[in-house]
Amino acid sequence: MTALSDRPTTHAPAVGSDVRRIDGPAKVRGRAPYAYEHELDSSPAFVAIVQSPVARGRVVSIDASAAEALPGVLAVLTHENAPRLGEVVEEIRVLQSATVQYAGEPVAAVVAETSEVARDAIGRVVVRYDSEAPDVVLSVDRDDLYAPEQLMAGFETDSVIGDVDAALAAAPVAVDVTYATPVQHNQPIEMHATVARWDGDVLRMWDANQGPHNLVPVLTSAFGITEDQLHVVSPYVGGAFGSKAFTHVHQLLAGMAARVTGRTVKLELTRQQMSSLVGHRTPTIQRLRLGAEADGTLTAISHEVVEHTSRNAEFAEQTATATRLLYAAPARRTTHRLARLDVPAPTIMRAPGETPGVYALESAMDELAVALGMDPVELRVHNEPARDPERDVPWSSRNLVACLRQGAERFGWAGRDPRPRVREVGRRLVGTGVAASTYPTRRRPSQCRIEAVPGKATVVSIDASDIGTGAWTALTQIAADALGVAMAEVDLRIGDSRLPKASGAGGSTGTTSWGPAIQAAAQALRERVHAEHGGQLPAGGVVVTGSSGPGEEVERFSMHAFGAHFAEVRVDRDTGEVRVPRMTSVFAAGRIVNATTARSQFLGGMTMGLSMALHEESVLDAVHGHFANHDLAEYHVATNADVGEMDISWLDEVDEHVNPLGAKGIGEIGIVGAAAAIGNAYWHATGRRVRDLPITPEAFFRGE
């Protein structure tokens, strides 16, 4: 076994190749089991949820008798009879009191022999409410906006350097513009689903999530069980984008329903229920003020954010944190203020913070370039900071300028006429735009176990999660190289809470967290075999564990991936329809483990950014407080016909500081800035600056 000798491996490295997904053949036939598809032979019962139409109030009475009388109904759970949950955060204390805090909050759950009977029965549960008018409208004029103690991920709420107002007042050229982004929903195509069963005092769940260990502390506390009494299995997950990161009410309802009925239960949220029960991206209102010298040198940056959170949770999205590092300027300020509204709790959605925040900053930079009469690529290059401008530490690596240059070259940016609304092809007005992208490089503590037995595939176990990222494949590649064997000789096990604890999939931290843990375990195996077995794997095999996590690099360096987006937009001057025939994006994201799946990640992010720019908006009904367009017919996501040519490339970036793998994470960088590039191209095409997303056809005919 070459892995354990000092001789160089005879295998070509798997990392860096473009090997196809190892789970692909099963997925294309529909044979990879997602959450709902487990325990097919268990004669399961089915759970359906009764939701409150009231956004603020309390349940006065529940009459479940008609539902209970329906043949096939096993139980109706309400706050009056549901099992009491242990300590869990307010936003998921489901069926524990009569209080209603958002439209769509579960007030009862039916368990029945079939899904048809369960859904029939929920319509027969009669619930009476006392209600008040909900407060759901976000505005900058509210007198109850407040500064949270800190933002998500531990960021400071505000940052202030220098006298920003004086610098803005003194700036020869300045812009003062306000952007708004709407509520958006994650909308993974696999609806959130949980299969649950109690085997004695052990709770088993087959669940759609972004890492089984994410659920462990919540479920053990909620049900008063130990970690040994919980088993969460999630080998395949049908997309997530943040909505499956945290424990939501349906997982608790499934556990309760299984306990009450003693059955295996299946709970699949409906698409409509996902609008209120699994979170959303908070809406933002962002005021950007930029001051510059006539040559384009930024003298002041101010980015003030107002966004919402819910009555039952504080979700403080870190919207302006990218503004703290993207460009140099001596005077700088970022602030975040929240309004607590009668809405469901927001959650993370692909690049929470950076996605709405960089949209606003990069749109404002384009407006500044116009005010300066300067090329927007050159404006960005001109304000490139040598060090992190707020933390005053060096970059681990920063190649934004190279991304801009290479992107401009590939896109054909040179010679661009900066004037708006001067190009037409038939009925269509044509424009081009650019925007930068950035996303933090982080990792989280993770552990891995390796079991090596002569003549068998090496078992590599880690509770990682593949939500479509390609983790099954990328981690097998990393393990193969770390062990010095072919990929076929690696037996990877992920997506199971009984595997060694690892961080969840999210925040572009999967590969950067799990890869180094696998490498550490492989190194431990090598050392053990050398020290205790003379370099020869013993017949009985060896089991080792390894772990890895963030270290001093976090303090010493500012670590981020960067990218540049270029987009062409065509706007029909008769209908206002907006098309994006082509995008070019270039990324600097450290080491790329798998060229094929990485390209798909970038592509998916860019396309979701296009979708954000042109299609996505969840409309909160101001009177009733519910999301009015709560399905895929009315909440529009990009379809195949919305996407044109996508030109994707990346730099061969080597960053030895970020982690032993040298990877920066690629799940989010593709979406950040993409909507700004499209919005900027829309201005270039039409001369109209649309500052509230999405840019729908009617925007073209709106008064300025």
Active site residues: 668
Closest approach of another protein to the CB of residue 582, in Å: 11
Contact stretch for another protein (CB under 8 A) within 48-56, 236-244, 300-308, 392-400: 236-244
- The nearer residue to another protein, 118 or 168, going by C-beta atoms, is 118
Tell me which long-range contacts 685-690 makes (C-beta under 8 A, separation of at least 24).
Answer: 685/420, 685/421, 685/423, 685/429, 685/430, 685/431, 685/569, 685/570, 685/571, 686/420, 686/421, 686/429, 686/431, 686/571, 687/420, 687/421, 689/177, 689/367
Say how many C-beta atoms besides its own lie within 10 A of residue 208's C-beta: 28
Closest approach of another protein to the CB of residue 674, in Å: 11
Q: What residue spans of 534-644 are helical by DSSP H?
A: 553-556, 595-614
Site map for another protein, 599-638, x if CB under 8 A? xxx-xx-xxx--x-------------------xxx---xx
Which residues sit opposite 562 in a β-bridge?
438, 588
Closest approach of another protein to the CB of residue 151, in Å: 27
Residue 117 makes contact with another protein by CB under 8 A: yes
**Among 297, 281, 299, 280, which residue's Cα sits nearest to residue 289?**
299
Closest approach of another protein to the CB of residue 93, in Å: 28
Contact stretch for another protein (CB under 8 A) within 55-63, 235-243, 426-434, 656-664: 235-243
| Residues 246 to 275 in contact with another protein, rule: CB under 8 A | 266, 268, 270-271
Distance CA 107, CA 95 (A): 6
Q: Which one of 99, 115, 261, 523 is in contact with another protein (CB under 8 A)?
A: 115
- The nearer residue to another protein, 28 or 371, going by C-beta atoms, is 28
Dihedrals φ, ψ of 300, to 5°?
-155, 140
Vertex 621: Cα angle to 620 and 623 (nearest 5): 140
Q: Which one of 16, 83, 239, 576 is in contact with another protein (CB under 8 A)?
A: 239
- The nearer residue to another protein, 193 or 339, going by C-beta atoms, is 193
- The nearer residue to another protein, 401 or 637, going by C-beta atoms, is 637
- Angle subtended by helix axes 354-372 and 674-686, to nearest 10: 30
Closest approach of another protein to the CB of residue 41, in Å: 7
**Among 546, 539, 547, which residue's Cα sits nearest to residue 452?**
539
Residue 241 makes contact with another protein by CB under 8 A: yes
Contacts of 685 (CB under 8 A, 6+ apart): 420, 421, 423, 429, 430, 431, 569, 570, 571
Per the structure block, which two tokens stand in for 31?
């044979």
Contact stretch for another protein (CB under 8 A) within 84-92, 420-428, 468-476, 585-593: 468-476
The radius of gyration of the chain from alpha carbons, rounded to an integer in Å, stands at 26
Looking from the CA of 649 toward its CB, the CA atoms found within 13 Å total 15
Distance CA 127, CA 394 (A): 60
Contact stretch for another protein (CB under 8 A) within 78-86, 247-255, 441-449, 464-472: 464-472
- The nearer residue to another protein, 544 or 638, going by C-beta atoms, is 638
- The nearer residue to another protein, 273 or 310, going by C-beta atoms, is 273
Say how many C-beta atoms besides its own lie within 10 A of residue 536's C-beta: 12
Closest approach of another protein to the CB of residue 633, in Å: 5
Q: Which one of 10, 43, 139, 639 is in contact with another protein (CB under 8 A)?
A: 639
| Residues 151 to 190 in contact with another protein, rule: CB under 8 A | 187-190
| Residues 567 to 606 in contact with another protein, rule: CB under 8 A | 596-597, 599-601, 603-604, 606
CA 458 to chain centre: 32
- The nearer residue to another protein, 27 or 530, going by C-beta atoms, is 27
Residue 94 makes contact with another protein by CB under 8 A: no
Site size for another protein (CB under 8 A):
65
Query: How long a stretch of residues is the chain?
Result: 704
Distance CA 358, CA 236 (A): 32
- The nearer residue to another protein, 266 or 380, going by C-beta atoms, is 266
Contacts of 154 (CB under 8 A, 6+ apart): none
Q: Which one of 229, 646, 649, 687 is in contact with another protein (CB under 8 A)?
A: 646
Say how many C-beta atoms besides its own lie within 10 A of residue 646's C-beta: 17
**Among 186, 276, 315, which residue's Cα sits nearest to residue 240?**
186
- The nearer residue to another protein, 27 or 142, going by C-beta atoms, is 27
Q: Which one of 640, 654, 701, 704 is in contact with another protein (CB under 8 A)?
A: 640
- The nearer residue to another protein, 194 or 310, going by C-beta atoms, is 194
Q: Which one of 235, 357, 431, 470 is in contact with another protein (CB under 8 A)?
A: 470
Distance CA 662, CA 120 (A): 54
Closest approach of another protein to the CB of residue 105, in Å: 21
| Residues 13 to 52 in contact with another protein, rule: CB under 8 A | 20-21, 23-25, 27-34, 36-37, 40-41, 46
Contacts of 488 (CB under 8 A, 6+ apart): 457
Site map for another protein, 485-524, x if CB under 8 A? ----------------------------------------
Distances (CA, A) of 109 to 112, 193, 631, 687: 10, 15, 21, 53
CA 81 to chain centre: 36
Residue 411 makes contact with another protein by CB under 8 A: no
Closest approach of another protein to the CB of residue 188, in Å: 6
Residue 553 makes contact with another protein by CB under 8 A: no
| DSSP label at residue 256 | H
Closest approach of another protein to the CB of residue 493, in Å: 19
Closest approach of another protein to the CB of residue 27, in Å: 3
Tokens 């494949």 found at: 473
| Residues 328 to 387 in contact with another protein, rule: CB under 8 A | none
Distance CA 420, CA 411 (A): 18
Edge-to-edge order in the sheet of strand 298-310:
159-161, 331-341, 298-310, 284-292, 173-181
The one-letter amino acid at 437: S
Decide: residue 523, CB within 10 A, 0-12 exposed, 13-18 middle, 19+ buried. middle
- The nearer residue to another protein, 279 or 484, going by C-beta atoms, is 279
Contact 296, 378 (CB under 8 A): yes
- The nearer residue to another protein, 188 or 510, going by C-beta atoms, is 188
Q: Which helix (H) or strand (E) holds 460?
A: strand 458-461
Closest approach of another protein to the CB of residue 248, in Å: 18
Closest approach of another protein to the CB of residue 20, in Å: 5
Contact stretch for another protein (CB under 8 A) within 115-123, 225-233, 323-331, 390-398: 115-123
Q: Which one of 45, 62, 643, 672 is in contact with another protein (CB under 8 A)?
A: 643
Contact 693, 678 (CB under 8 A): no
Q: Which one of 438, 469, 509, 513 is in contact with another protein (CB under 8 A)?
A: 469
Closest approach of another protein to the CB of residue 577, in Å: 13
Q: Which one of 191, 215, 351, 676 is in contact with another protein (CB under 8 A)?
A: 191
Q: Which one of 104, 468, 507, 673 is in contact with another protein (CB under 8 A)?
A: 468
Applying CB under 8 A, which residues contact another protein?
20-21, 23-25, 27-34, 36-37, 40-41, 46, 114-117, 120, 187-191, 236-241, 266, 268, 270-271, 467-470, 596-597, 599-601, 603-604, 606-608, 611, 631-633, 637-643, 645-646
